[in-house]
Amino acid sequence: MTARRATSLHRFANPARFMRLSSAILPWCAGLTAVLLVAGLYLAMFVAPPDYQQGESVRIIFVHVPAAWMAMFVYATMAIASATALIWKHPLADLVAKSCAPIGTGFTAMALITGALWGQPMWGTWWVWDARLTSALILFFLYLGYMALWQAFDDPARAARAAAILAIVGAINLPIIKFSVEWWNTLHQPASVLRLSGSTIHGSMLWPLFIMLIGFTTFFVTVLILRVQREIIARKVRVARLSRRSPTPLASD
């Protein structure tokens, strides 16, 4: 059964098949992203009411919260792809993981910057070394370290393996980020959206938040497809160049 699943994964991950499927999905995903982000920003800026305590600054959460969610989701995707590449030698897993890193770095930077913009008027400071902020900053450096490892080796196979190990080990930071507000005394409020007892956010603010989250997700998928396609093309070009440089054996008499 395991061998059959691995064969199915390899067949599905054929680069030519991926290029065909992703090219068909890409315009729909890009169009959906545009619609969702425009609708979400409109609802967040003009329909959602100001908070009775935070005032208009509460609108930052419609970017900050989805960006923070996506920072962790993209890293989880990168770690799973890295594990798949190491265990099952998936043909495209390394390329998916490599393509995730710059996107996740951008989401993490966005979460940190918007968090600072929100924290200054709310907390009176741009930054505090509490558990949630510190673990999010560590996530940012994990992304940077992952990308640096890809550039540190001339051999792509060695680079992929080293980066994959870092991605898998670094995944231990994800539950720390998630549960830091419950494990330690931090300035961050506990979870208010995903709760077993139900969300504590009013629907007028919850719907724009979910729309922005879905929009960020489809944006990630769109950019991921573009980056993986570019990596496949770059790999083909690299193989073609290497084949041209290799000497042609002389024909025997």
Please say whether the beta carbons of 106 and 224 come within 8 A: no
Please say whether the beta carbons of 200 and 192 come within 8 A: yes
114 is a domain residue:
yes
13 is a domain residue:
no
Token pair of 18 as six digits: 């991926």
Reported as a single tens digit per residue, the pLDDT across 136-169 is 999 999 999 999 999 999 899 999 999 999 999 9
CATH number (domain holding residue 47): 1.20.120
Q: How confident is the model at residue 246 (pLDDT cuts 50, 70, 90)?
A: low
32 is a domain residue:
yes
66 is a domain residue:
yes
Tell the burial category of 190 from Cβ atoms under 10 Å away from its Cβ (0-12, 13-18, 19+): exposed
Reported as a single tens digit per residue, the pLDDT across 61-119 is 999 999 999 999 999 999 999 999 999 988 899 999 999 999 999 999 999 999 999 88
Token pair of 29 as six digits: 């995903």
241 is a domain residue:
no
The count of structural domains within the chain is 1
125 is a domain residue:
yes
Cα dihedral 116, 120, 124, 129, rounded to 10, equals 0
- Which residue in 70, 151, 154, 67 sits closest to 112, CA to CA? 67
**Residue 79 belongs to what domain range?**
19-191+205-236
Residue 51: strand pairing partners:
55
